[in-house]
Amino acid sequence: MSDVSTHQPKFDEETLKADVMASSEAGRTTTEYIQHHLQNLVFGVHPENGLSIAHGSEEAAAMGFWAIHLDSMFWSIGLGLLFLWIFKKGADKATSGVPGPLQNFVELIVEFVDENVRETFNGKSEVVAPLALTIFVWVFLMNLMDLIPVDWIPYAAERIGIPYQKIVPSTDVNVTLGMSFSVFALMIYYSLKIKGAGGFFKELAFQPFNSPNVLVQALFVPINLLLEGVALIAKPISLGLRLFGNMYAGELIFILIALLPFYAQWALSVPWALFHILVITLQAFIFMMLTIVYMSMAHEHH
C-alpha cells in the first residue's frame, strides 16, 4: 500500500506536466490549444442564441450549413484585394525604359503564367490566362499566411475580444472547395458553349467504351455515363481537397511545434518553414495547372 500511495502522486504530476502547455494566459491544455487554433470564427443563427458568433465547435456545428466563417472571408477577400492592388500599381508604373523592381516582379509572374497557359491550353479564350494568373497569385498569398507564427494574430485577436482567428484561408475546406467548384462551373459552361449540349452528352456517354454495333453501344451508354460522371464530379472535389489537405497538415505541424519548448521551436520551425515555402508555391502551381488543363478539356472537340 505504501508503494502505491508513494508513486501515485508522482504519476499524476508527470501526466499534468506533459498535458498542460503555456499557450495563453488562460493556460490551455494541449488538446484545447490545438482545437482553439484550428477553430474558425463562425457567425450564424444558433437554435438557442439566435444570430451570434460561435464559442466552440459545438455551437458552430449547431449553426448548420449557412453559417459563415468570418476569418476565412476576411483574409481571403483582403488578400484578393492585395493582389489587385499590387498588380494595378505595377501596371500604373509600367515603362518601356528601365523597369523598376515592382514591374520586374509583376512581369516575371505574368510571363510565367502566360508560358504555362500557352503550353497547356489548346483552345482560344480571353478568360483562361487571367483566370490562371488570379488563381496562382491568390492561392499563393493565402498559403503564404501559413508562415506567420501561429500564436501572433490569434493571441492579438483574443486581446480585443475576438475568440478565434484562423488566418490561413486555404486551411478552410469551404474556401478551397468554393474555388474548385467555381472552376468546375466554368468548365461545364464552356463545355456546353463549345460542344453544345449534344456534344457534351456524347462525350460522357460514348467513352471510354464504344462499339460500332448500335445495340452493344446502347448497353455501354449507362456504364460510360456512370464512369465519366464519377470522374467529372471527382475533378472539383480532388482539386479542392488536395489544396486543403496539404495546407491543413502544414498548419497542424506548425501548431504542434509551437507546443514544444522555446529552443525546440526554433530548431524545428525554421527548417519546416523553409521547406513549407516549397509546399506553398507548389500547391498554388498545381491548382493553377489543373485549372488550365480542365479548361483546355472543356474547349476540345473529340
**Which of 28, 49, 116, 242 does the annotation list as catalytic?**
242
In whole angstroms, what is the distance from residue 261 CA to residue 14 CA? 16
CB atoms inside a 10 Å sphere around CB 253:
15
**Which of 170, 246, 269, 296 does the annotation list as catalytic?**
246
242 is catalytic: yes
Length of the chain: 302
246 is catalytic: yes
In whole angstroms, what is the distance from residue 142 CA to residue 77 CA? 10
Q: Name the strand (E) or helix (H) holding 205.
A: helix 173-205
| CA dihedral of residues 247, 250, 255, 258 (deg, nearest 10) | -140
Q: Which residue shows C-alpha cell 479542392?
A: 240
The CA-based angle 82-86-91, given to 5 degrees, is 145
| SS3 (DSSP) at 43 | strand
Give burial (CB, 10 Å; 0-12/13-18/19+) of 6: exposed
238 is catalytic: yes
Of the candidates 237, 232, 227, 208, the one whose C-alpha atom is nearest the C-alpha of residue 294 is 232
- Cell reading at 93: 508604373
**Which of 104, 211, 213, 238 does the annotation list as catalytic?**
238
Alpha carbon of 1 to those of 8, 11, 12, 13, 301: distances in Å?
Answer: 11, 16, 17, 19, 83
Tell me which residues are annotated as active site.
Answer: 238, 242, 246
